[in-house]
Amino acid sequence: MTQIALTRDVGPDMQACELSFVGRTEIDVALAQRQHARYQQALSELGCTVLSLPAEADLPDSVFVEDTALVLDELAVMTRPGADSRRAEVGSIAAALSRYRTLVNITGPGTLEGGDILRHGRQIYVGLSARSNPEGIRQLADFVAPHGYAVRALPISGCLHLKSAVTLVDDGTVLVQPEWIDAGEFPGYRIIQVDAREPHAANALRVGSGLIYPSCFPFTLDRLREAGIEVSTVDVSELQKAEGAVTCCSLLFEADPVQ
Residue 256's pLDDT is what?
82
Q: Give the structural domain span for 107.
A: 3-254
Do residues 125 and 163 touch, judged by C-beta distance below 8 A? no
134 contacts 151 by C-beta, under 8 angstroms: no
d(CA 105, CA 109): 12
Query: Catalytic site residues?
Result: 161, 248
Q: Where are the beta strands (DSSP E) in 117-189?
A: 117-120, 123-128, 150-155, 166-170, 173-176
User: Is residue 259 situated within a structural domain?
Assistant: no
User: What pLDDT, on the 0 to 100 scale, is given for residue 2?
Assistant: 86
- Indicate left, alpha or beta for 228 from its phi (over 0: left) and psi (-120 to 50: alpha): left
Mean pLDDT of 73-97: 97
Residues 118 and 73: their CA atoms lie apart, in Å, by: 15
pLDDT for the residue numbered 258 = 55
- Whether 123 maps to a domain, the answer reads yes
CATH of the domain at 187: 3.75.10.10
Q: Establish if 172 belongs to a structural domain.
A: yes
DSSP state of 10: P
The DSSP symbol for 5 reads E
| Exposure string for 179-194, b = 16+ CB within 10 A, e = fewer | ebbebebbeebeebbb
For residue 207, how far is the Cα from the chain centroid? 12
- Range name among 30-39, 207-216, 223-232, 249-258 with the lowest pLDDT average: 249-258
pLDDT tens digits, 127-146: 999 999 999 999 999 999 99
Strand partners, 190: 173
Average confidence score pLDDT of the chain: 96
Residue 220 lies in a domain: yes
243, part of any domain: yes
- 208 domain-assigned: yes
Residue 257, pLDDT > 80, answer no
Strand order in the sheet with 76-78: 69-71, 76-78, 103-105
Q: Count of domains in the chain?
A: 1
* Distance set, CA 222 to CA 117, 193, 204, 209 (Å): 26, 12, 14, 18
Q: What is the average per-residue pLDDT within 90-116? A: 98
Q: Is residue 51, in this structure, part of any structural domain at all? A: yes
Counting residues of the chain whose pLDDT is more than 70, the rounded percentage is 99
* Global confidence as pTM: 0.96
Task: Quote the pLDDT of residue 159.
Answer: 96
Q: What are the tens digits of pLDDT across the range 187-241?
A: 999 999 999 999 999 999 999 999 999 999 999 999 999 999 999 999 999 999 9
Residue 65 lies in a domain: yes
